[in-house]
Structure 1
Amino acid sequence: MRKARGEVIRKIVADSDFDPVLLGVDAARYPCLSGIDPYGDTIFNGLQVQRLLEELDSYKAICSASVEFMEDLDELCRMVKSGTHRFIWFIGD
Structure 2
Amino acid sequence: MQVRSETGAVVARAGCGLDWDSALAGLERDEFSILTGVCPYMDTVFNSWQRSNLPAKLDRLPADRGGPWVREIRALCVPAHQALHRYVWLLGD
Shorter-chain TM band: 0.7 to 0.9
**Structure 2 spans left out of the alignment, 5+ residues:** none
Structure 1 runs, 4 residues or longer, greater than 6 Å off: none
Gapped regions of structure 1 (runs ≥ 5): none
2:77 is aligned with what amino acid? C
Q: Which structure has the highest helix share of the two?
A: 2
Q: How does 1:3-18 map to 2 (within 5 A)?
A: 3-12=5-14, 13-16=16-19
Percentage of identical aligned residues:
27
Number of aligned pairs? 89
Q: 1:85 to 1:74 in 2, by over 3 A?
A: same
Q: Could you say which residue in structure 1 is the equivalent of 2:76?
A: 76
- Give me the TM-score of the superposition, normalised by structure 2: 0.82
Residue type of the partner of 2:45?
Answer: I
Where relative contact order (Cα < 8 A, 6+ residues apart) is larger, the structure is 2
Distance 1:49 1:70, change over 3 A: same
Does residue 49 (structure 1) correspond to residue 58 (structure 2)? The answer is no
